[in-house]
Amino acid sequence: MTRTRLLAALVMAPVAIAAILLLPTPWMIAVAAVLFLAGLWEWFDLAEIEDTLSRTVLLVAHLALMVTIVWASRSGGFGGAQAPSMVLFKLASLIGVIWWLLALLWLQRFNFASDHRTYARMFKLAAAALSVIPAWCALAWIHAEGSNGHWWLLTALAVVWAADTGAYFAGRKFGMLKLAPRVSPNKTVEGLIGGAFAGVAAGVGFSLLAGATTAQLPWVAVVSLAAVLFSVVGDLFESLLKRHAGVKDSGHLIPGHGGILDRIDGVLAALPVFALGKAIFGF
């Protein structure tokens, strides 16, 4: 399994990095929208929305919201003579951070919305919107801001990727203390610590490529650590949904990695935190 995961990562990583660094913001957010909506489709499955028509309507509604945010933010348009207003993107990112803090309470109540009734589906669909839309807005905000926005987006994603990798190997090597056994039996405290070290190291290292000054590095480390911790919340929350649905993976599209949602669950939670932290500390 490790070899399969590694080979899949070696294929996906260069493509993702090339898109982040080479695509202009309008194309970058369009590609991200496709990826996030694909993950959202899998989320509908975990929420037990089985009817294809219902899932399609929900997906189109989320796409329409994304388009509306872009349309309402135009002041010359993305790629136009004037930069678009990022107010709605920033507001959505803040909402995302608040949502993931509330998600911690949900994680502490494993049985909440665990049945198969309508109200449980409604809660999980609301969680989907509060996870996907703010993360997409945070991605757009980071990528569009400043001449090095593409490098800062790569930094934010590198934090999550490194944390995920560090947690995987540290957990396999040293893992003994279970982090949240009822939600995700394979996650360990040792894995969390290893992931935190790897994520912060990646954040500091990549931030230098993005133009961070020496004085800014401590704040980059703080924001990177916060992003790692939130990425764990995102990962655990998806694990909770999978436990409720009785499935191991959100999908089977990526060999050794499961579905799209399995790959972006941590990203959904980390991006709004990184974007907000970047704005607060001014790097």
For residue 218, pLDDT over 60 is answered with yes
pLDDT band with cut points at 50, 70 and 90 for residue 110 = confident
Phi, psi (5° rounding) for residue 179? -80, -50
Structure tokens at 55: 């899932």
126-157 per-position pLDDT tens digit: 999 999 999 999 999 999 998 899 999 999 99
Is a pLDDT exceeding 90 seen at residue 246? no
249-274, pLDDT tens digit by residue?
776 665 555 689 988 999 999 999 99
Q: Please tell me the predicted confidence (pLDDT) of residue 75.
A: 62
Euclidean distance between CA atoms 195 and 199, whole angstroms = 6
Q: What local confidence, expressed as pLDDT, does residue 71 receive?
A: 92
pLDDT 10s digits, 90-105: 999 999 999 999 999 9
Query: Residues 204-212: what's their mean pLDDT?
Result: 96
Sign of CA dihedral 167, 172, 174, 179: positive
| CA neighbor of 186 nearest in space, from 196, 197, 175, 195 | 175
* Per-residue pLDDT at 82: 58
254 and 8 in contact (C-beta within 8 Å)? yes
Mean pLDDT of the chain: 90
Q: Alpha-carbon distance 64 to 161, whole Å?
A: 29
Rounded CA separation 232/142 (Å) = 21
Q: Which two tokens stand for residue 162?
A: 């490194």
Q: DSSP assignment, residue 185?
A: E
Return the number of other C-beta atoms located less than 10 Å from residue 214's C-beta.
7
Residue 183 has, within 13 A of its CA and on its CB side, a CA count of 23
Question: pLDDT value at position 78?
Answer: 54
DSSP string, 222-243: HHHHHHHHHHHHHHHHHHHHHH
Neighbours of 194 (CB within 10 A): 23
pTM: 0.91
Q: By C-alpha distance, which of 221, 260, 254 is closest to 132?
A: 260
pLDDT digits (tens, 9 = 90+) for 165-184: 999 889 888 878 898 888 88
Domain segments of the chain as ranges:
2-281
